Amino acid sequence: MACLRRAGILAVCLFAVCPLAAQAEEALGPRDRLFGGHRGTYNDDIAKWRVALRRHPHDPDAHFWLGCHYARVSEFDKAVQHLEQARQLRPDHEKTHAELASAYTELARLARDRGQAQEADASLAKADSAAKALLQLPPRREESYEALIGLARHKAERFRAAGQPDKERETHDETLGYCEKALELDPNDVSTHLERMRTLFALGRYQDTERRCNEVLKLNPRLYEAKFTIVRIRRMEGDYAAAIRILSGVLEQKPTQIEALLRRAEIRLDLHSYEQALADANEAIRLTNRNPYANFIRGRVYMQTNGLGQAIPEFQLAAAGMSKHVPSRFWLARCLFVKGRLQEATEELIALLKLDPRLITARRALASVAPQNWDPDRAEVRRALDDLRRQKAERPEK
């Protein structure tokens, strides 16, 4: 949220005439101090602004700041109500449009996470409307471009999930444009540099990604995300030795860097260095006591070293800790199937298809499980059967 990028409000004038809120706004600190508040402070400020709003019900500052504080405590429904009032009272206020776009984006994200597609689409349409109004001003503040970047990122995620690569690419291109505008305003803003880096990677522009990684590392040489992005590029290129050198360098500086341990374990899995991969995963669990992704790596190691009995509990821990991690559930189902635990394998495959109904491999695996383990009325099973019949019709010899 753009509003979350500001310092706490100076609220000493709240019980005076409400237009003095503009003076408080001008007293806000720089961007690097934007996360200084906490929920108790926000709730106190909400109470004060509500009193001020009762005294001055048509003051745009009161509605604006009340909306911002509701957003800070994740009460986005209330936030958009007040921000909409602020927009009507002051339609040319850049910050209001930016905050409104961010709040509706969050509402869309939350609705989609709950499986409420219609509500998500409605909130996304309102976020788009606020973004268009913001662009017409045009925006002159870095926080405005942050709001536009957040909206574009959410839309790109939706297009990727819907299997619409052309629209996803177009949205990534929009994001890059917003990043460039934001960096014109603040060339040293690390968060925008990182957003541009992530977007270039998503577009498959790996040379540009690495160049931007190196640029941001000049701003902050210890920025792990940039280093790990270079590791991903090296891994895709097949230069495993270079990737391991980068990760080992990180671990020399900070032996407790969990992500570096897990990424190195992944690469060692690629190299079939199972003992070393297992050692990295074990170290991650020792340092954290509980790490589902380390359990996933251990499951992969045991699966490759003929230890399905050991792999199954590791994948179960991974799936429990990462409920939306598709590989954990897929490999768990496969191990259960090989061990003859068909009913459990069926349930895992159905859970997997609920995460992503487009997984053809999972549907075919479900269709291969013994029919006595099926409930023929379950939609996932019907889809699996339909897919199997279609496959046989297309390739009857198989």
pLDDT at residue 78 is higher than 90:
yes
Range 322-331 average pLDDT: 92
For residues 180 and 199, give the distance between their C-alpha atoms in angstroms, rounded to a whole number. 12
Long-range Cβ pairs for the range 315-320 (8 Å, 24+): 317/292, 318/292, 318/293, 319/348, 320/292
pLDDT, position 176: 97
Residue at token pair 């189902």: 333
pLDDT at residue 148 is higher than 50:
yes
pLDDT at residue 34 is higher than 50:
no
Instruction: Write the DSSP string, 85-117.
Output: HHHHH-TT-HHHHHHHHHHHHHHHHHHHHTT-H
pLDDT, position 397: 40
| Sign (positive or negative) of CA dihedral 140, 141, 143, 146 | positive
pLDDT, position 343: 86
CB 247 within 8 A of CB 262: no
Cα dihedral: 88, 174, 68, 30 (round 10): -120
pLDDT, position 44: 86
pLDDT, position 11: 37
pLDDT at residue 380 is higher than 80:
no
Q: Cα 241–232–279 angle (5° rounding)?
A: 60
Confidence of residue 25 (pLDDT cuts 50, 70, 90): very low
- Range with the lowest mean pLDDT among 38-47, 126-135, 202-211, 238-247? 38-47
Q: Where are the alpha helices (DSSP H) in 162-223?
A: 165-185, 190-202, 206-219
pLDDT at residue 301 is higher than 80:
yes
pLDDT, position 28: 33
Q: CB atoms < 10 A from the CB of 122, how many?
A: 15
Domains of the chain: 290-398 (1.25.40.10)
Using a 10 angstrom Cβ sphere, with 0-12 exposed, 13-18 middle and 19 or more buried, the burial of residue 372 is: exposed
Range 22-45 average pLDDT: 45
pLDDT at residue 376 is higher than 50:
yes
For residues 197 and 318, give the distance between their C-alpha atoms in angstroms, rounded to a whole number. 29
Range 269-280 average pLDDT: 96
Q: What is the mean pLDDT of the chain?
A: 85
Range 40-64 average pLDDT: 90
pTM over 0.85: no
Confidence of residue 331 (pLDDT cuts 50, 70, 90): very high
For residues 311 and 298, give the distance between their C-alpha atoms in angstroms, rounded to a whole number. 7
- Eight-class DSSP state of 16: S
Confidence of residue 35 (pLDDT cuts 50, 70, 90): very low
